[in-house]
Amino acid sequence: MSNHTDLPSNNEDSTQNLGENTDIDLSQNNIEVTEEIHAIDAEDIALDNDMAIEEFFAPSGNTRMADDFRAGYVAIVGRPNVGKSTLMNHLLGQKLSITSRKPQTTRHRIHGILSNHEMQAVFVDTPGIHRNEVRAINERMNKAAVSALVDVDLVLFVVDSDQWRDDDLLTLQKLGETNLTVVLVINKSDTLKDKGSVLPLIETFNDSFDFADIVPVSALKNQNLDRLQEVIASHLPVAAPIYDTEQITDRSERFLASEIIREKIMRSAGDEVPYDLTVQIDEFKDEPAHTDPKTGRPRKACTFIDATIYVERGGQKAIVIGDKGQRIKQVGMDARKDMEQLFGKKIMLTLWVKVKRGWSDDERALTSLGY
């Protein structure tokens, strides 16, 4: 009989006991390590939560804003047909304000919003300031342009590179009655045969007014617009964004639809088009995707727009409709295409043409039509 019964019976048992003890020690170490990992995870989660909250209350743009972010209103003024709307559209990289070769195409103040990580410029595209106020609508357009100068932070005074007219002087006189910071934008600089000829022009303008900056550009060809953006940012106050940084305008889709239709008529008819026309949106109805109850077929989401084009005389109505309705049909197709691109949805457009005699010189009619 052995006197060592309290000892392990063999080496295998010793190994097993050692293994069990080692397992216990390792598991304790794992507990400590796991607790450390959980503590780190908790810190990460708390940090993620803080970032999520900060992102939620921040503007929805993805770009981080500069510490000295600048924001303000920028009025774009000048005589008719000098390229103000084209300039705003190309600065935005988005067609927002309608354009044509016909003077006084823009009739309303239109806000376009340009946002990047350094600034937000809220552009105010105005009707051209002109002397010939022959009708009530002309007077209202001038008032809209001048009133745009109230409470703006900066003015872009747009002139043509090779033409100086009385209406340019009129605009400059209006600006001289304010204390606003004014940047002279010499548009269509690419049309100058002799690029050196712009220098005397700059000197002439500089002698006539105390401009904060002078920037020659070609809005249509996107030339020197980056430099213009830098100049704009330098004159805006340090401030938080005024609008959501993903927003491009404060105008409604109804308004933009009416302007697109009016542009297509003016572009389609050329010199034939009557200036005395306006567009009223009668219905703007969004229909969600659904199954047609009659056919059982699925139908995509669609916006139905009914619009009436008002002219002043029967002969003007015939011009807008065109031979066998071809012009108005093409206007509808072109307008629908632009709307679908701008609004990002399917459009069904119905157009009507009606005579409303004397509307452009009728104060009540102008008010009812949104002027």
Q: Is 189 annotated as a binding residue?
A: yes
Q: Is 187 annotated as a binding residue?
A: yes
Judge whether 369 and 280 are in contact, CB under 8 Å: yes
Q: Is 81 annotated as a binding residue?
A: yes
d(CA 279, CA 307): 7
In whole angstroms, how far apart are CA 351 and each of 206, 309, 328? Answer: 49, 7, 8
Q: Is 129 annotated as a binding residue?
A: yes
Q: Is 85 annotated as a binding residue?
A: yes
Assign 129 to helix, strand or coil: coil
Q: Is 19 annotated as a binding residue?
A: no
Q: Is 79 annotated as a binding residue?
A: yes
Q: How many CB atoms lie within 10 A of CB 294?
A: 6
Q: Is 294 annotated as a binding residue?
A: no
d(CA 49, CA 184): 48
Q: Is 347 annotated as a binding residue?
A: no
To which H or E segment does residue 311 belong?
A: strand 302-311
Q: 268-293 as b/e, with b when 16 or more CB fall inside 10 Å?
A: bbeeebbebbbbbbeeeeeeeeeeee
d(CA 283, CA 270): 28
Q: Is 315 annotated as a binding residue?
A: no
d(CA 93, CA 11): 83
Q: Is 97 annotated as a binding residue?
A: no
To which H or E segment does residue 347 belong?
A: strand 347-355
Q: Is 336 annotated as a binding residue?
A: no
Q: Is 179 annotated as a binding residue?
A: no
Q: Is 332 annotated as a binding residue?
A: no
Q: Is 78 annotated as a binding residue?
A: yes
Half-sphere exposure at residue 9, Cβ-oriented, CA atoms within 13 angstroms: 0
Residue type, 297: R
- Annotated binding-site residues read 78-85, 125-129, 187-190
- Annotated binding-site residues for GTP read 78-85, 125-129, 187-190
